[in-house]
A and B are shown apart, each in its own frame.
Chain A
């Protein structure tokens, strides 16, 4: 019973991780018709905390078939900017996504975060054959991420971070998503494992078994 519990507890999430890795690596099909950002999306800037935070923090955004061109309305504020945030993803649009690829026209990007609820995951920078970093960044959501995105409510977005003084006054971000329609295998495996664990726990009690009650017996005093 103990071995069964160990196998179930460790093997089920491990199996989901392995399937995740193989599943996302094998899919190179761009999702047609997927609108990456909702109609009501918005882009805003983050500033370092300082008393001289600019009053004009607005940006102008143009979307050309998944390429977002963002320009600060007041370029003089660029040296104080620390991040660009793209807010407004559709939950439903992300359910079948296995990979998000961003190409940004700046080599000063410090990191990129995919944010959902109060959690964030980091995009991985793609390196070329010589090991040099490129302007392409990849995020492959795991089954845990997908389950959380579909269940949780709140903010879903991308944040492009820069060191203070490195942020450009305008940013071009090309956005591609890859994926396919798939069953929620992660949730099925984890849920079925939970049921099996409950059965294991039931069978591990002293009242259940082929030989009847196996717990301690109180001796009667004469």
Chain B
């Protein structure tokens, strides 16, 4: 569960990164389809909900917070890997005009 008592900029960034990653994975499932504003809203909502579930069961956002604050090397590697994967997916999405995200 997201701990609102300890909410700070790092937890917002951690939750945002997790949501972005889940949104990209949902976009992979919708490859080739035209994305409207309503699609984007639905994807954002489902991604946010998935991120919340992942945090509840796995403390995923807590690990990301540890990584982005730079106080734990293993968590930093995890965050760098996650960002790298997201960057490559966005790059592929842009260069192929939405046809391919991962190979």
Instruction: Give chain A's interface residues, CB within 8 Å of chain B.
Output: 1-2, 5-6, 8-10, 12-14, 16-17, 118-120, 142, 144, 147-148, 151-152, 186-188, 190-191, 193-198, 200-206, 209, 214-216
Nearest CB of B to A126, in Å: 21
Given contacts A198-B80, A198-B81, A216-B96, contact A13 B74 (CB under 8 A): no
- B15 on interface, CB distance cutoff 8 Å: no
**Cβ of A198 to closest chain B Cβ, rounded Å:** 5
> What is the count of residue pairs linking A and B with beta-carbon distances less than 8 angstroms?
121
Interface size classification for chain B: 35 or more
Q: Which residues of A contact B25 (CB under 8 A)?
A: 2, 5-6
Within 8 Å CB of B66, what residues of A?
Answer: 144, 147-148, 151
B18 to chain A, nearest CB (A): 8
**In contact, A190 and B75 (Cβ under 8 angstroms):** yes
Chain A residues lying within 8 Å of B34, measured Cβ to Cβ, are none
A13-B59, A142-B59, A191-B74 given; A197·B81 CB < 8 A: yes
Task: With A204-B103, A205-B88 as known contacts, state yes or no: A215 contacts B71, CB within 8 Å.
Answer: no
Are B58 and A13 in contact, with the CB atoms below 8 A? Answer: yes
A214 with B103: CB separation less than 8 A: yes
Secondary structure call for the B interface? helix
Q: How close is A209's CB to chain B, nearest CB, in angstroms?
A: 6
**Cβ–Cβ < 8 Å partners of A119 in chain B:** 3, 6
Can you list, as one digit per residue, whether each of B74-85 has a CB less than 8 Å from chain A (1) or not (0)?
A: 111111111011
Of listed A5, A118, A198, A215, residue having the most chain B CB within 10 A: A5
Given contacts A14-B57, A151-B66, A215-B96, whether A201 and B87 have CB atoms under 8 Å apart is yes
Report the minimal beta-carbon distance from A163 to chain B, rounded to whole angstroms. 17
B54 touches A (CB below 8 Å):
yes
Min CB–CB distance B9 → chain A (angstroms): 12
Closest to A205 in B: B88
Identify the closest chain B residue to A189 (Cβ).
B74
Complex interface residues of chain B between 3 and 34 (CB less than 8 A to chain A): 3, 5-6, 8, 21, 25, 28
In this complex, what residue of B is CB-closest to A13?
Answer: B58
Known: A13-B63, A193-B78. A200 touches B85 (CB 8 A): yes
Given the contacts A6-B25, A191-B78, A204-B88, A215 and B95 also touching, CB distance less than 8 Å: yes
Shortest beta-carbon distance from A82 to chain B in Å: 16
Distance from B47 Cβ to chain A, minimum over Cβ atoms (Å): 12
Q: List the B side residues contacting A8 at CB < 8 Å.
A: 81
CA distance A205 to B78 in the complex (A): 19
In the complex, per-residue mask of B60-103: 1 if CB is within 8 Å of any chain A CB, else 0: 10110010000111111111111011011101100111000111
A81 to B28 CA separation, bound complex (whole angstroms): 56
A-B contact pairs, 25 of them (CB 8 A): A2-B28, A10-B58, A10-B60, A12-B78, A13-B58, A13-B63, A14-B57, A14-B58, A119-B3, A144-B62, A147-B75, A187-B75, A190-B63, A190-B77, A194-B75, A194-B78, A194-B80, A195-B77, A196-B81, A197-B82, A200-B85, A201-B84, A204-B89, A215-B92, A215-B95
